[in-house]
Structure 1
Amino acid sequence: MRYLSIVFIATLLIACDQPEAKEPVEYKGPLREVENMEMFYTENDRIKVKMQAAVVYEFLNGDREFPKGIYLEFYTEEGTLESTLKANNAYFFKEQNQWRGRGKVEVKNIAKNEQLNTEELFWKPADQKIFTEQFVTIKQQEDVIYGTGLDAKQDLSDYVITKPYGEVGFQEN
């Protein structure tokens, strides 16, 4: 009986000496959440870009997520509204300095009265370029152009559709 008591106590002591180690859980969610954000980017005391978003998540690596959509306005040097961009949701990749809009993405060129629609669009602010490999629709004043893939200036003033299709009317002089 004494032997069983010693074995029992030794087993309890060994079990108590080895606590169960748990791996720490690394948090990968947003560090900050902003609601009803309105931000202005300026150069030489002139507004260049106005940004609005209902919700913004900021992450440790500098990335930002806009899960409820984003709306951007781009202005000329003179301060005139040049173009707009909106998307159902967006993501900013800090390391690449690149944006991705998804869902119903719409870009309007105010001066040319043209509108681009697609499901996914990338924007490189440093190059002032937008691009996609997805299906695109461009509504012009008289025509509608369809295609897959697009490379364009961010204001949609100049663009190339990789694989265009559809009919476009031409006027002869």
Structure 2
Amino acid sequence: MKQHIVNSNKILTAGSIIYLLLAVVFLLSSCQSNNPEDIKAVVDENNFPSLAVNELESVITDSGKVAYRFITPEMNQYENRKQPYTEFPKGLHLIVYNDQEEIDAQIKSNYAIYYEDENLWELQNNVEAVNFKNEVINTEQLFWDTKKHLIYSDEFIKITTETEILTGYGFESDEKFENYTIKNISGILSVEEEQRKEP
């Protein structure tokens, strides 16, 4: 009798193991999609950058003179897309030079993307630009149209000069941030007033 009980326990244990294995296989197979579109998306080369570079510093020249300098921790280029673009997921530092190769302006952001067909830059997240007058422009999104030589934004903008702080919505400027306008000014505050407010 005891022998019979031991054997039945062994059969139940083996049966339980087989049941558990079947359940695991079923769950794993149900998590994977057999949809042709999903499979194509996984193996599609267009989902991977055609060029990936870390710690890049690049110089663009015009008539033999340095016009721009780009510094970024990571650059991913997607040339095989219908709308090719270059992405800077960890941010970008752009330096603009004048004809004497002196720094005219600098722009930094935590994220940037360049749309090749449109010759359009989009900078996002903690965008900060400084011109040669040391005026500081802060916003969360900024576009740079290199065809029109125009920089613009529809987002909230803050400009800090030596004497005042301007805030508003909508912004247009030349590439050197020398001549700019705020479309809808919401506030003008002297730097001295702002310093008095700070604890």
The TM-score bracket by the shorter chain reads 0.7 to 0.9
Query: 1:11-160 alignment to 2 at 5 Å?
Result: 22=36, 25=40, 26-27=44-45, 28-59=47-78, 60-61=80-81, 62-110=84-132, 112-160=133-181
What secondary structure is seen at the aligned counterpart in 2 of 1:149? Answer: strand
Structure 2 gaps, min length 5: 1-33, 191-199
Distance 1:156 1:168 in 2: 20
May I ask how many residue pairs the two structures share in their alignment?
Answer: 149
Q: Which has the larger radius of gyration?
A: 2
Bigger share in strand: 1
Deviation at 1:138, TM superposition (A): 0.3
The letter of the residue matching 1:50 is: R
- CA distance in 1 between counterparts of 2:49 and 2:64 reads 32
Of all paired residues, the percent bearing the same amino acid is 25
When normalised by structure 1's length, the TM-score is 0.81
Paired position in structure 1 for 2:182? 161
Distance in 2 separating the partners of 1:58 and 1:21: 28
Distance apart, 1:31 and its partner CA? 1.9
Report the equivalent of 1:15. none
Q: Kindly provide the CA deviation profile for residues 32-69 of structure 1, in whole angstroms up to 9, marking residues without a partner as x.
A: 21101111000111100000110001102331000000
Which amino acid counterpart does residue 65 of structure 2 have in structure 1? R
Q: Which runs of 5+ in 1 are unaligned?
A: 1-19
TM-score (normalised: structure 2):
0.70
- Greater relative CO, 1 or 2 (CA 8 Å, sep 6+): 1
Letter in 2 for 1:118: T
CA-to-partner distance for each residue in 1:109-151, whole Å, 9 max, x for gaps?
02x2201000000011222211000000000110000000101
Describe the superposition over 1:71-113 as per-residue Cα deviations: whole angstroms up to 9, x where unpaired. Answer: 0100001111100001000000111110000000011002x22
